[in-house]
Chains A and B, each alone.
Chain A
Amino acid sequence: AQSVTQLDSHVSVSEGTPVLLRCNYSSSYSPSLFWYVQHPNKGLQLLLKYTSAATLVKGINGFEAEFKKSETSFHLTKPSAHMSDAAEYFCVTTGGFKTIFGAGTRLFVKA
């Protein structure tokens, strides 16, 4: 069965410091993995996706994620946080015709 676990419900960083949002997955298939971002009162926007090509995936706004099969992880990182990064982030796994969303991690960025 597929599942995805976002290990932190809230993460707080200072502007200019690195961001790490953690996601572990479980899948019987070779998974596709996505990170989406949702700003207040907006829909979800794709940040990046992994579909069995390069294990280090670069996305928009300076975000990247690394697929680690041995650790069943797909953590999202950014070297330097910006105030505009404050939002909720969702890790998503798919396989077959199922799409499973994580519970979300809310990122706070302090000035």
Chain B
Amino acid sequence: ETGVTQTPRHLVMGMTNKKSLKCEQHLGHNAMYWYKQSAKKPLELMFVYSLEERVENNSVPSRFSPECPNSSHLFLHLHTLQPEDSALYLCASSPSRDNTYEQYFGPGTRLTVT
């Protein structure tokens, strides 16, 4: 399998549930990203990892907790979410944190919080 994969593709969870989103890249990249895409809003960068170290956290609520155990895998742990957290969550990777490189995106996880 090549590129960036995300699982699950769809997730429905209640506000008291705990779930995790998984992202895997098979491109040998050193940087990975989590984005939130809500209807009628620009893409929001949530977290950036470079060489497995978190280098950016854009004021994301603590109910979202990222984890990067190695350069190929990225998780987003979800806990006590709110309905306004319903969105498409996109993972991306790039060869390095240097932004002259393009990012490669996964297909996203469509999250619905009930």
Contacts and interface: CB of A to CB of B under 8 A. Distances in A.
A95 B90 contact: no
A43 B99 contact: no
B102 A99 contact: no
Residue in A46, A51, A99, A103 with the greatest tally of chain B CB atoms within 10 Å:
A99
> Would you call the interface of chain A mostly helix, strand, loop, or mixed?
strand
A49 B100 CA distance: 9
Given A101-B43, A104-B42, A41 B107 contact: yes
B108 A43 contact: yes
A104 B56 CA distance: 23
A42 B107 contact: yes
A105 to B, nearest CB: 12
A44 interface: yes
Given A90-B43, A102-B42, A103-B42, A43 B102 contact: no
Given A43-B105, A46-B104, A94-B100, 11 more contacts: A32-B99, A32-B100, A41-B107, A43-B107, A44-B90, A44-B105, A51-B100, A90-B43, A94-B99, A99-B103, A101-B42
Interface of B: 4, 6, 41-43, 45, 55-56, 90, 92, 97, 99-100, 102-108, 110
